[in-house]
């Protein structure tokens, strides 16, 4: 685990890199599926590990290797046992013994076939698990977005499709394992038959001594030969896991100057060269895996979409890739440098290239990146970097812990950072202040709050160089002004080199020293100091191209007075928050994420029942009779040995009894499908005289050998049958349990996801499901076998040797006492070990999402040490469990020796015959073994059932209301914009997140008409988002009601409600697949309609629209995109029509849309809304990350295309909604104002008017409202 984590800290980030491998598969055949294309391997990158695969590497693959190492002694012990037994057989039977052993050579081809098949199945099974876990990780990460659009069923089917593929390989693996075991179970029987037959046919006399000694020696071969197939399979599977981990560890790493784990310590002194930050003659491309042949994929058929292949020719593929070209820039030290340019021009890519997260495409590229935390200047600043990404990444910790980011706590500096990043008003609202737990996916914070926390983290770090990516996009205009005035022009940014990517050039113009404008094709269009650009006469044009109207009036005037924090987001009067220490006193904090529940005591019968029902009762009603028949064969084997011994004319049956029960100890890790028969053979053999009807064993030894072999082979066949039945039952249980828990988790309310870490959920779907798939079935088979053997042994002793029951009671009590302690302790250790895995998966998921930020902060070593602590904890549980296992083994062996001693003493002191003495001794040995293994396997079963227990726990989580209420289904036209009645009515609405919590919405009432445009304004925490979520029933009313077009939303199913409404969130999410899949997952529209939607949101140009989706234009998301989610040059018109690369319906999308920029994801979400044409549309800052020129065009499209819809827009920027029909102003969970913009701005003392006045653009807003009121809304966006 530690090696995998270490690699994850060093490897290049390949988000979406698997696309090219998918395309290679599709390129390997022509349209008819028969003629393969000649794809150049040299242009084909191999697939890198995604999140799902890495989780599997840390769970399944690592566990598989650990399991192999723990039983390695069997691998070298089994051949040694075979050699010893063979040597004795040779001494006894001569060369005839090797005739039997030659069977092992004869079955070598079959052994080789099954071995190869094992490797193939293991590779395919693990690949299927990787894909399933990758999709599950994507689903859980974007579950809120999926619920927005009522796509739960679609995603469940998608995951189930991958699960069916996985289960197909699981079943093949089990059948292959059973057949492999059957082959090796037959081997010792055939060895004994052929050996004895050869000896007899050679003219030798098979005497009683030789016959039974030979049988005993052949029995010695049984255990190692039965163990070998099991461990051969384990070795082969572990080999596959080692290869997978090795491939991952061999992936490309970032350069040494990027990773502080590889970087050697340097001189703590600082020279001017050490402070240099910039790029010389640089060209960069997006990270991609190493080139490799993908032989396994050559046979895959092409996947076509509407008859069009998804692969472009290599030449055109290269031409469509985005690259930064000819970049030479040196950022002035201790000054503010700004990078601007149209959306998709490469602004973020330039930052990532500087951070070493892109691959240089020329040898002449030189990157200067100071990352030496040991060098500190006179101002106490380290010569290193802090970074704030455009897509906010926060850890699942408190706000304070995120800001400190493992840096020492400096109270004065910390308070100053909170003040300058405008966080004090927000912290004052939170009950726990800066100790508020952020939660999974930052659920506790709004988008603006998350952005400011990430900004505070970058500012608090005592680093000399600060890289900020579009930090103003998620905040309103007056908050942006406050941050600029207090932070960028304050002491916290003094003496620091600041590199800022932004569209808000005019806002920061007074502070800018150096300006860089990116142009089309990944080149620098203009760069220079402000003075130089002004002297050249180009500064005004640059500022005009990338300026928000909000700041337009401020270009020619000096910055006004400093804005107080009470002005942020309209916070006024009594709501103004003072600026004292926002750190709450040391009291009990509200815990958002509770500790994982760990069951106690025995595994409940309900858990057994759930599993048995899932596997079908028919499985067990068939399995039990076969199990009884197997024990019957074992008893028949012992009886026949007695008959055989008595059939010798001059031999005592005691010889047979003693020689055939030579003690062999099976192993806990022996073949689960074919447990050793030696335990059974050691049970007492009744003294049966030879019936006169049976031939003499001296004259006809082969008769007895044949019957003996038939009995043993019958037992083998019955074992094979029971194993197959159990395998199908286990397969059925795995399938049903997974389907049930998947549906239950997906239908859980968002509150449950908000309080449950992703790693905890993934642990259920990875490690626990894999246990149910594999080892649980084997544990049940072994446990039932040994319990049946124990029961048969007790019954046999009671019938044939009742004298042995007395010492057996004492032995049984000692075993019981030890077993109870072992079972209880081992069970709890296993539960603790399972629970300690969840934090590892959670931390690893956070690491993968924030790896660029972690490396930028030079924090890899800290994270590595934290992971070591988590791994140490889970390893302690595992180690303690195995030491407990060894403790049990030692004490059981001691009791076993004591029991044999007491039994022998008891027998010798009695007047029993020699025959009875021998049987008593061997019976004691057999009884000891049967009790021992019954205990061990029962404990193992309880440990494996812990996984069922954890999965069943998730079957009882809270559930959302039903998707469909058949008795209350709305009509097909609902909701209708043609109705003259109010479309949306909210009456005395009260919302609580939990019954014991205070209401977040109180007495909210309003009425909205069809085709209205409604703006929803208010500061953070005022209840805007809660109101929107209430419309979609993400929170249920505790009082009041919501009706849409006359239908109470609480009376209909969630799917009927959410599928008829559309919400466009600020953080738009895309899913893996294609653009077509994301726009139209249910295939409800033709390609022409989809392309038209892309055109209307400015995501493609007219030329792209007219050209269609030619295969030569279908570009890889990997080749066009940044691995951290920034797509460059997809042929969009966002700010530049000169960009030539194209986005088409077949363009691949990686998980979470990570290969698209934030702005591009918002445009796709807008296109999706255009296709749905809902009567009610809710927008939540849906264009915040788009450049202003494109935003102006998009706003015009919204007004035109959504004219027949009720549009509700949640906004921080007042200018976005001043031309709307009416505005709702919220504060503290209530509506304080609701009227037209013209009436609200004219209302003296009104909250909206005060917000406009404090925005710094009151005159412009008043003029815009006046223009809109006379029917000229386009005046806003000229």
Among candidate residues 925, 956, 987, the one where a domain is terminated:
956
User: How many angstroms separate the Cα of 760 from the Cα of each of 135, 412, 593, 768, 843?
Assistant: 16, 37, 11, 11, 10
Share above pLDDT 70 across residues of the chain, in percent, rounded to a whole number: 76
Per-residue model confidence (pLDDT) at position 1006: 94
Q: Which two tokens stand for residue 416?
A: 């100053």
945 and 1071 share a domain? no
How many residues in the chain? 1278
Per-residue model confidence (pLDDT) at position 783: 85
* Structural contact between residues 449 and 382, judged by C-beta atoms closer than 8 angstroms: no
DSSP state of 486: I
Among candidate residues 956, 985, 1012, the one where a domain is terminated:
956
* Structural contact between residues 354 and 277, judged by C-beta atoms closer than 8 angstroms: yes
User: How many angstroms separate the Cα of 918 from the Cα of each of 411, 485, 641, 924, 1128?
Assistant: 82, 97, 15, 10, 85
Query: Residue 1262: which of 1242, 1243, 1278 has the closest Cα?
Result: 1242
Averaged confidence pLDDT in the chain: 76
Give the C-alpha separation, 1240 to 1171, whole Å: 34
3-state DSSP helix/strand/coil % of the chain, to nearest 5: 55, 10, 35
Residue 364 placed within a domain = no
Per-residue model confidence (pLDDT) at position 409: 93
Per-residue model confidence (pLDDT) at position 976: 87
Per-residue model confidence (pLDDT) at position 1225: 92
Domain housing 635: 51-248+606-683+692-956
Query: At which residue do the structure tokens 């049903």 appear?
Result: 736
Residue 983 placed within a domain = no
Give the C-alpha separation, 568 to 423, whole Å: 10
Residue 834 placed within a domain = yes
Of 124-128, 635-639, 664-668, 1233-1237, the one with minimum mean pLDDT is: 664-668
Number of domains in the chain: 2
**Mean pLDDT within 384-395:** 88
Of 150-154, 491-495, 887-891, 965-969, the one with minimum mean pLDDT is: 887-891
Q: Which residues of 579-613 are buried (b: 16+ CB within 10 A; e: fewer)?
A: eeebbbeeeeeeebbeebeebeeebeeebeebbbe
Per-residue model confidence (pLDDT) at position 1187: 63
Please, what is the Cα angle at 552 between 551 and 557, to 5 degrees? Answer: 90
Q: Cis check for the bond before 975: say yes or no (omega within 30 of 0).
A: yes
Give the domain CATH number at 146: 1.20.1560.10
Residue 1025 has pLDDT above 80, yes or no: yes
Q: Which two tokens stand for residue 209?
A: 């001594």
950 and 1092 share a domain? no
**Mean pLDDT within 846-863:** 86
Give the C-alpha separation, 729 to 727, whole Å: 5
Per-residue model confidence (pLDDT) at position 779: 85
Per-residue model confidence (pLDDT) at position 677: 39
For the stretch 318-372, pLDDT in tens is 444 568 888 899 999 999 999 988 776 788 888 988 988 888 888 888 888 888 8
User: How many angstroms separate the Cα of 671 from the Cα of each of 724, 779, 1137?
Assistant: 14, 10, 67
For the stretch 628-660, pLDDT in tens is 898 888 778 767 766 776 676 544 444 444 444
Q: Which two tokens stand for residue 182?
A: 């059957």
Per-residue model confidence (pLDDT) at position 734: 92
Per-residue model confidence (pLDDT) at position 1138: 36
944 and 1092 share a domain? no
Q: Which two tokens stand for residue 33?
A: 């599926």
Per-residue model confidence (pLDDT) at position 361: 86
> pLDDT band at residue 1266, thresholds of 50, 70 and 90?
confident
> pLDDT band at residue 71, thresholds of 50, 70 and 90?
confident
User: How many angstroms separate the Cα of 1099 from the Cα of each of 717, 1135, 1139, 1150?
Assistant: 65, 11, 12, 18
Residue 742 placed within a domain = yes
Per-residue model confidence (pLDDT) at position 655: 42
Give the C-alpha separation, 75 to 23, whole Å: 42
* Structural contact between residues 934 and 790, judged by C-beta atoms closer than 8 angstroms: yes
Residue 553 has pLDDT above 60, yes or no: no
Report the DSSP pairing between strands 323-330 and 278-285: antiparallel
943 and 817 share a domain? yes
Give the C-alpha separation, 1243 to 1263, whole Å: 16
Q: Would you give the distance in Å from CA 233 to the centre of its chain?
A: 27
Residue 1005 placed within a domain = no
Q: Which two tokens stand for residue 69?
A: 């190492």
617 and 750 share a domain? yes
Give the C-alpha separation, 629 to 189, whole Å: 19
Segment of 424-428, 479-483, 490-494 carrying the highest mean pLDDT: 490-494
Residue 1255 placed within a domain = no
> pLDDT band at residue 14, thresholds of 50, 70 and 90?
low
Give the C-alpha separation, 1253 to 4, whole Å: 55
> pLDDT band at residue 1101, thresholds of 50, 70 and 90?
low
Please, what is the Cα angle at 1187 between 1182 and 1188, to 5 degrees? Answer: 90
Residue 843 placed within a domain = yes
**Mean pLDDT within 420-449:** 80
For the stretch 235-292, pLDDT in tens is 888 888 888 888 888 888 888 778 877 765 555 656 666 678 999 988 888 776 554 4
For the stretch 777-834, pLDDT in tens is 888 888 888 888 777 767 766 666 676 677 777 777 888 888 888 888 888 887 788 7
Residue 1125 has pLDDT above 50, yes or no: no
Strands (E), 331-423: 336-340, 359-360, 366-368, 372-376, 382-388
Q: Which two tokens stand for residue 519?
A: 């142009």
Residue 376 has pLDDT above 90, yes or no: no
Segment of 160-169, 377-386, 758-767 carrying the highest mean pLDDT: 160-169
Residues near 1272 by Cβ (< 8 Å), separated by ≥ 6? Answer: none
> pLDDT band at residue 456, thresholds of 50, 70 and 90?
very high
1074 and 947 share a domain? no
Per-residue model confidence (pLDDT) at position 166: 94
Give the C-alpha separation, 1251 to 1261, whole Å: 11
User: How many angstroms separate the Cα of 284 from the Cα of each of 48, 222, 718, 1122?
Assistant: 20, 63, 65, 11
Among candidate residues 956, 978, 997, the one where a domain is terminated:
956
Per-residue model confidence (pLDDT) at position 1155: 66
**Mean pLDDT within 22-39:** 39
Residue 917 has pLDDT above 80, yes or no: no
Of 907-921, 1007-1021, 1179-1193, the one with minimum mean pLDDT is: 907-921
Residue 436 placed within a domain = no
> pLDDT band at residue 1113, thresholds of 50, 70 and 90?
very low
Query: Residue 33: which of 295, 309, 293 has the closest Cα?
Result: 309
> pLDDT band at residue 400, thresholds of 50, 70 and 90?
very high
User: How many angstroms separate the Cα of 148 from the Cα of each of 914, 1033, 1055, 1158?
Assistant: 82, 10, 10, 19
Q: Would you give the distance in Å from CA 334 to the centre of its chain?
A: 41
For the stretch 590-602, pLDDT in tens is 566 666 666 666 7
Higher pLDDT, 25 or 950: 950
**Mean pLDDT within 952-961:** 91
């Amino acid at each position: 685990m530690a090696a995998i984590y270490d690699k994850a800290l060093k490897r290049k980030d390949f988000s979406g890199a698997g696309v090219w491998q998918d395309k290679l598969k599709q390129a390997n055949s022509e349209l008819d599926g028969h003629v393969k294309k000649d794809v150049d391997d040299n242009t084909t990158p191999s697939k890198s590990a995604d999140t799902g695969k890495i989780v599997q590497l840390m769970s399944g693959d690592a566990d598989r290797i650990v399991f192999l190492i723990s039983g390695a002694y069997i691998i070298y012990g089994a051949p040694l046992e075979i050699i010893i037994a063979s040597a004795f057989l040779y001494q006894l039977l001569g060369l005839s013994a090797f005739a039997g052993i030659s069977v092992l050579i004869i079955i070598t081809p079959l052994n080789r076939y099954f071995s190869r098949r094992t490797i193939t199945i293991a590779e395919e099974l693990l690949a299927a698990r990787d894909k399933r876990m990758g999709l599950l990780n994507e689903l859980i990460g974007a579950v809120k977005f999926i619920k927005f659009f009522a796509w739960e069923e679609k995603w469940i089917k998608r995951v189930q499709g991958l699960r069916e593929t996985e289960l197909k390989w699981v079943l093949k693996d089990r059948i292959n394992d059973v057949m492999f075991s059957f082959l090796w179970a037959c081997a010792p029987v055939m060895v004994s038959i052929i050996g004895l037959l050869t000896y007899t046919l050679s003219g030798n006399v098979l005497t009683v001594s030789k016959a039974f000694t030979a049988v005993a020696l052949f029995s010695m071969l049984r255990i190692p030969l039965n163990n070998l197939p099991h461990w051969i399979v384990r070795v082969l599977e572990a080999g596959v896991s080692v290869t997978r981990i090795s491939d991952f560890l061999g992936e490309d790493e970032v350069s040494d100057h990027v990773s502080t784990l590889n970087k050697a310590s340097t001189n703590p002194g600082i020279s001017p060269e050490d402070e240099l930050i910039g790029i010389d003659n640089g060209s960069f491309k997006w990270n991609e895996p190493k080139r490799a042949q993908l032989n396994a994929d050559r046979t895959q058929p092409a996947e076509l979409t509407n008859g069009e292949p998804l692969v472009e020719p290599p030449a055109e593929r290269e031409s469509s890739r985005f690259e930064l070209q000819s970049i030479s820039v040196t950022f002035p030290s201790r000054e503010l440098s700004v990078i601007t340019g149209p959306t998709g021009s490469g602004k973020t890519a330039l930052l990532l290239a500087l951070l070493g997260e892109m691959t240089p495409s020329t040898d002449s590229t030189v990157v200067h990146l100071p990352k030496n935390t040991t060098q500190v200047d006179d101002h106490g600043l380290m010569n290193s970097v802090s970074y704030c990404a455009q897509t906010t990444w926060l850890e699942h910790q408190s706000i304070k812990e995120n800001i400190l980011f493992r840096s020492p706590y400096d109270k004065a500096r910390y308070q100053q950072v909170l003040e300058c990043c405008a966080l004090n008003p927000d912290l004052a609202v939170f009950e726990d202040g800066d100790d508020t737990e952020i939660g999974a996916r930052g659920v506790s914070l709004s988008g603006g709050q998350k952005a400011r926390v990430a900004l505070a983290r970058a500012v608090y770090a005592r680093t000399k160089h600060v890289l900020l990516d579009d930090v103003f996009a998620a905040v309103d205009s007056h908050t942006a002004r406050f941050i600029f005035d207090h932070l960028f022009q304050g002491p916290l940014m003094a003496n620091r080199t600041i590199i800022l990517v932004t569209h808000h050039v005019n806002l920061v113009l007074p502070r800018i020293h150096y300006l860089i404008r990116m142009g089309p094709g990944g080149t620098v269009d203009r760069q220079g100091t402000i003075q130089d650009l002004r002297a050249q006469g180009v500064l005004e044009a640059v500022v005009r191209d990338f300026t928000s109207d909000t700041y337009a009036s401020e270009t020619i005037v000096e910055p006004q007075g400093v804005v107080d924090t009470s002005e942020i987001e309209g916070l006024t009067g009594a709501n103004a928050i003072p600026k004292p220490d926002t750190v709450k006193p040391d009291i009990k904090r509200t815990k958002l994420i509770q500790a994982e529940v760990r069951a106690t005591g025995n595994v409940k019968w309900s858990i057994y029942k759930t599993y048995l029902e899932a596997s079908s009762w028919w499985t067990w009603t068939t399995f039990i009779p076969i199990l009884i028949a197997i024990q019957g064969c074992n008893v028949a084997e012992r009886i026949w040995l007695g008959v055989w011994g008595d059939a010798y004319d001059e031999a005592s049956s005691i010889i047979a009894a003693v020689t055939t029960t030579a003690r062999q100890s099976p192993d806990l890790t022996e073949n689960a499908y074919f447990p050793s028969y030696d335990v059974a053979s050691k049970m007492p053999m009744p003294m049966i005289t030879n019936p006169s009807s049976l031939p003499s064993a001296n004259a006809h030894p082969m008769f007895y050998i044949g019957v003996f072999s038939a009995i043993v082979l019958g037992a083998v066949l019955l074992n094979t049958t029971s194993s197959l039945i159990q395998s199908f039952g286990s397969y059925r249980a795995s399938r049903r349990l997974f389907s049930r828990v998947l549906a239950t988790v997906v239908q859980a309310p968002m509150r449950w996801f908000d309080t449950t870490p992703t790693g905890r959920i993934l642990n259920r779907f990875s490690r626990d499901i894999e246990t149910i798939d594999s080892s649980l079935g084997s544990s049940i088979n072994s446990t039932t076998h040994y319990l049946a053997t124990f029961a048969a042994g007790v019954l046999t002793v009671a019938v044939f040797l009742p004298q042995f029951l007395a010492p057996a009671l004492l032995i049984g009590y000692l075993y019981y006492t030890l077993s109870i302690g072992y079972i209880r302790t081992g069970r709890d250790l296993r539960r603790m070990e399972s629970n300690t895995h969840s934090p590892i998966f959670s931390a690893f998921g956070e690491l993968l999402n924030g790896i660029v930020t972690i490396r930028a902060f030079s924090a890899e070593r800290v994270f590595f040490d934290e992971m070591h602590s988590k791994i140490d904890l889970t390893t302690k549980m595992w180690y303690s469990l195995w030491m407990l296992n060894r403790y049990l083994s030692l004490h059981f062996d001691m009791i076993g020796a004591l029991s044999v001693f007491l039994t022998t003493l008891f027998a010798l002191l009695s007047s029993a015959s020699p025959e009875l003495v021998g049987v008593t001794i061997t019976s004691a040995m057999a009884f000891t073994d049967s009790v021992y293994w019954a205990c061990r396997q029962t404990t193992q079963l309880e440990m494996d059932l812990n996984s069922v227990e954890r999965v069943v726990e998730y079957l009882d989580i809270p559930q959302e209301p039903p998707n469909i209420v058949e008795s209350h289904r709305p009509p097909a036209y609902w909701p209708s914009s043609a109705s003259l009645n109010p479309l949306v009515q909210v009456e005395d609405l009260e919302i609580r997140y939990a019954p014991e919590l205070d209401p977040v919405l109180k007495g909210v009432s309003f009425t909205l008409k069809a085709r209205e445009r409604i703006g929803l304004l208010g500061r953070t925490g005022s209840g805007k988002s809660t109101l929107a979520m209430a419309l979609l029933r993400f929170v249920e009313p505790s009082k009041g009601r919501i009706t849409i077009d006359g239908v109470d939303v609480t009376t209909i199913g969630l799917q009927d409600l959410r599928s008829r409404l559309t919400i466009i969130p600020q953080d738009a999410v895309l899913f893996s697949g294609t653009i077509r899949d994301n726009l139209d997952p249910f295939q409800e529209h033709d390609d022409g309609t989809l392309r038209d939607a892309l055109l209307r949101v400015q995501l493609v140009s007219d030329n792209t629209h007219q050209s269609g989706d030619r295969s030569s234009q279908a570009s890889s998301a990997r080749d066009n995109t940044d691995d951290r989610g920034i797509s460059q040059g997809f042929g969009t018109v966002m700010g530049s029509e000169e960009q030539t690369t194209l986005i088409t319906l077949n363009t691949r999308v990686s998980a979470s849309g990570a290969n698209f920029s934030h702005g591009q994801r918002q445009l796709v979400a807008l296109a999706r809304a255009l296709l749905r044409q809902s009567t009610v549309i809710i927008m939540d800052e849906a264009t915040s990350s788009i450049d202003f020129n494109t935003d102006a065009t998009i706003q015009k499209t919204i007004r035109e295309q959504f004219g027949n819809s009720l549009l509700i827009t949640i906004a921080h920027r007042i200018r976005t909604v001043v031309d709307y029909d009416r505005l709702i102003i919220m504060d503290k969970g209530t509506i304080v104002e609701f009227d037209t913009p013209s009436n609200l701005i004219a209302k003296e003392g009104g909250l909206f008017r005060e917000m406009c006045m404090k925005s710094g653009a009151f005159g412009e807003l008043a003029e815009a409202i006046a223009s809109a009121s006379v029917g000229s809304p386009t005046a806003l966006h000229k």
